[in-house]
Amino acid sequence: MTKKEKAQYIIDSLERLYPETPVPLDHSDAYTLLIAVLLSAQCTDARVNIITPFLFAKANKPEDMVKLSVNEIREIIKPCGLSPRKSAAIHELSKIILEKHNGSVPDNFEDLEELPGVGHKTASVVMAQAFNVPAFPVDTHIHRLLTRWGITNGKNVEQTEKDAKKLFPRELWNKLHLQIIFYGREYSPARSPKKEQDFITVKIGTSKAIKELK
């Protein structure tokens, strides 16, 4: 199978499995999405969704967030891990959004990636899901699966993003990255992926990936 044929098989299979792609992180606008994505670093979406209602009940806008101390934010978000760094970033980025962006989350990569705690992947999620700008955020699921499927060499997430964008149609990026995440969670976990479940890897995976299936 060529890479192009593999890409089409992935698109068709995932569209059949996941015709709807709700954003896994609960949010009400670009700001709450940004905070939720920042919190999701090394933390599950399910846990983030448990924590954010407590945080957003106190502050769901940058002007309210800056009224909280970094310690208050930290106490609320502690179960998400990396709380010292994340709480400082949340407080500081809220301040910058107020001072530099008139209280609105910027809708471009350059300004988003200048915010504390916001890397390219976080910016990509916000651009895709809050502003509907085509982006292909690569998380660990996507990096792992596109490597397993021989779409990329698995060198690093930057290379994976480049290869995905080259191969998949731009108008599908925002939906497809979520479909791949859903598939990874349901059918192809990082540990002990199983032959009878992971049908995409069985069909198009690299020989190494197929050998790893139990």
Instruction: Assess whether 61 carries a catalytic annotation.
Output: no
**Options 6, 121, 163, 198, the catalytic residue:** 121
Crossing angle, helix 70-77 and helix 83-100, to 10 degrees? 130
Residues whose CB is less than 8 angstroms from the CB of residue 206 and which lie 6 or more positions away in sequence, other chains included: 147, 148, 149, 150
CA distance 133 to 125: 10
Residue of 139, 162, 165, 175 marked catalytic: 139
C-beta contacts of 208-213 below 8 A and 24+ residues apart: 209/147, 209/148, 209/149, 209/150
Q: DSSP H helical segments within the chain, as ranges?
A: 3-17, 30-39, 45-58, 62-65, 70-77, 83-100, 109-114, 120-129, 140-148, 157-167, 173-187, 199-204, 207-212
Has 139 been annotated as catalytic? yes
Residues annotated as catalytic (active site), given as ranges: 121, 139
